[in-house]
Amino acid sequence: MNTDGLEINEIHHGDCLELLRQLPDCSVDLIFADPPYNLQLNKDLFRPDRSLVGAVDDGWDKFDSFRDYDDFTRTWLLESRRVLKDTGSIWIIGTYHNIFRIGAMVQDTGYWILNDIIWIKTNPTPNFMGTRFTNAHETMIWASKSKKSKYTFHYQALKGFNDDLQMRSDWLIPVCKGPERIREEGKKAHPTQKPEELLYRIIMATTNPGDLVLDPFAGSGTTAAVAKRLGRNYVAFERELSYFSLARERIGAITPLTRPLLEYRTERRIPRVPFGNLLESGFIMAGEFLWSADMKYAAEVQADASIRWEGNSGSIHSVGSLVSGKEKQNGWDYWYVKREGKMVNINEIRHNYIRRYLG
């Protein structure tokens, strides 16, 4: 598979700006960017036992000045926006060293910021010098291509991720360690390898199966590896040959999940069907009774789709609340009808109506 000569579902070795220019306009559904942080480190950092901390001091993270870093950032942001679909979105991760500079340029180049997400590291590296707070988080900017973009966001699926609670903007996820951390000769193969859990959540939240995910700073290949596993197409760029080689090997070992496992089943919402529709269509008849599950209470169905119990009339919900003694009662769950000697929940009757008339 390719897009104007640039192979898709591959990681490409080369400069991200040169490779970005080979992608056509409006061809990418999601971008995850983990650009150089420009840490401005001046000296080595040691632990209390005098062992050296493996900080990011590689040449790819060094810029001569803030202006040089800003020029580089603005260029890749503009190229990324060009290749992003109108319905797409971009995620950018950074630390206090760079994320505020990037955030301003995100707005200046035409994107629309949707959220900032705080990745709280449950196992951060301590501040060994004792001169500052422990840096225990990174910030992610999530932005659409423009203010009017109709971007992808699987709200209901994320609630399922979070035990039916609305997903918040603070994510507690550990730094990757143990078997997930790629090592060479016992040392970290890449100093800023991101945990797969982080990319899993981002890709599931803001793409669909078959979408194209772009990572212009692929590093150890986490974005492409997770995208492949989740049935998305991907294209990734990496300038450093050593990282490119280990990422390509890592991605090649991934087996994608089968398509049925990737369906967003929780987002199939039941069409709104008022109780009156069941009455009009003959699924429930005026004059028959709705029963509580224990058959202690019965309410008569009226011609106007209200139900009547002991002189009280109202909707299936209000009368259900009155009978059950609860402040709120979902009438669809509470009431039953008798069908061929069996008690059938009226929600099942509603589903029968949906299947027949609404497909």
pLDDT tens-place string over residues 275-284: 999 999 999 9
Residues shown for the chain: 359
Alpha carbon distance 302, 314 (integer Å): 10
Q: Given pLDDT bands bounded at 50, 70 and 90, which one contains residue 39? A: confident
The answer to which of 111-115, 182-186, 294-298 has the lowest mean pLDDT is 182-186
Structural Rg of the chain based on CA atoms: 28
| Token reading at 300 | 């008569």
Closest by CA to 82, choosing from 20, 148, 153, is 20
CB of 196 within 8 A of CB of 250?
Answer: no
Helix H, strand E, coil C: the string for the chain is CEECCEECCEEEECCHHHHHCCCCCCCEEEEEECCCCCCCCCCCCECCCCCECCCCCCHHHCCCCHHHHHHHHHHHHHHHHHHEEEEEEEEEEECCCCHHHHHHHHHHCCCEEEEEEEEECCCCCCCCCCCCCCCCEEEEEEEECCCCCCCCCCHHHHHHHCCCCCCCCEEECCCCCHHHCCEECCEECCCCCCCHHHHHHHHHHHCCCCCEEEECCCCCCHHHHHHHHCCCEEEEEECCHHHHHHHHHHHHCCCCCCHHHHCCHHHCCCCCCCHHHHHHCCCCCCCCEEECCCCCCEEEECCCCCEEECCEEECHHHHHHHHHCCCCCCHHHHCEEEECCEEEEHHHHHHHHHHHHCC
Q: Which residue has the higher pLDDT, 123 or 39?
A: 123
Q: Which residues contact 178 (CB under 8 A, 6 or more apart)?
A: none
CB of 335 within 8 A of CB of 316?
Answer: yes
β-bridge mates for residue 301, sequence order: 307
This prediction's pTM: 0.72
Closest by CA to 205, choosing from 163, 159, 236, is 159
**Tens-digit pLDDT profile for residues 310-319:** 999 999 999 9
Say whether pLDDT at 51 is over 60. Answer: no
CB of 267 within 8 A of CB of 156?
Answer: yes
The answer to which of 30-39, 51-60, 220-229, 295-304 has the lowest mean pLDDT is 51-60
Percent of the chain exceeding pLDDT 90 equals 72
Closest by CA to 102, choosing from 40, 37, 147, is 37
